[in-house]
């Protein structure tokens, strides 16, 4: 019973973390697509800079999911 609760809580947290990954992932994809559409050196440069910032947010999101998994294994 307790085990199921821990698992359910972890799933819920991972669901939230996945949801929060959607923002930077959308921004990243759209920025790269727009750079392709505009197709200038300036647009590419700006997109690479901003895409790296979004990658940073994605890495944070993945880290928080790892943390949730680690915590749920310890609880098991």
Partner 1 sequence: MLHSGLDMHVLIVEDDSALGAFLGRGLTLDGHEVALVADGEAALAAAERLRPELMILDLGLPLKDGLKVLTEMAERFRSTSVMVLTGRAEMEERVQCLELGADDVVLKPFSFHELRARLKALGRRRRRSEESVLRFGDVELDRAEHRVMQGDREVELTATEFSLLESLLRRRGERVCSRMELLREVWRAPAGMGTNIVEVYINYLRRKLGQTGLQESGHQCLIRTVRGAGYILVRGGLASSAAAWSEARLLEQVAG
Binding site for partner 1 (CB under 8 A): 19-20, 22-27, 29-31, 33-34, 37-38, 50, 53-54
The minimum distance between CB 21 and partner 1, in angstroms, equals 8
Q: How far apart, in whole angstroms, are the C-alpha atoms of residue 75 and residue 37?
A: 49
Number of residues that this document lists for the chain: 76
Beta carbon of residue 17, minimum distance to partner 1 (angstroms, whole number) = 11
Question: Treating both helix axes as pointing N-terminal to C-terminal, what angle do 2-38 and 41-75 enclose, rounded to 10 degrees?
Answer: 170
Residue closer to partner 1 by CB (options 6, 21) is: 21
């Amino acid at each position: 019973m307790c085990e199921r609760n821990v698992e359910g809580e972890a799933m819920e947290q991972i669901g939230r973390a996945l949801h929060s990954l959607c923002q930077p992932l959308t921004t990243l994809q759209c920025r790269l697509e727009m750079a392709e559409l505009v197709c200038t050196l300036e647009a590419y440069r700006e997109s690479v800079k901003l895409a790296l910032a979004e990658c940073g947010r994605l890495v944070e999101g993945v880290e928080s999911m790892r943390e949730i998994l680690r915590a749920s294994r310890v609880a098991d």
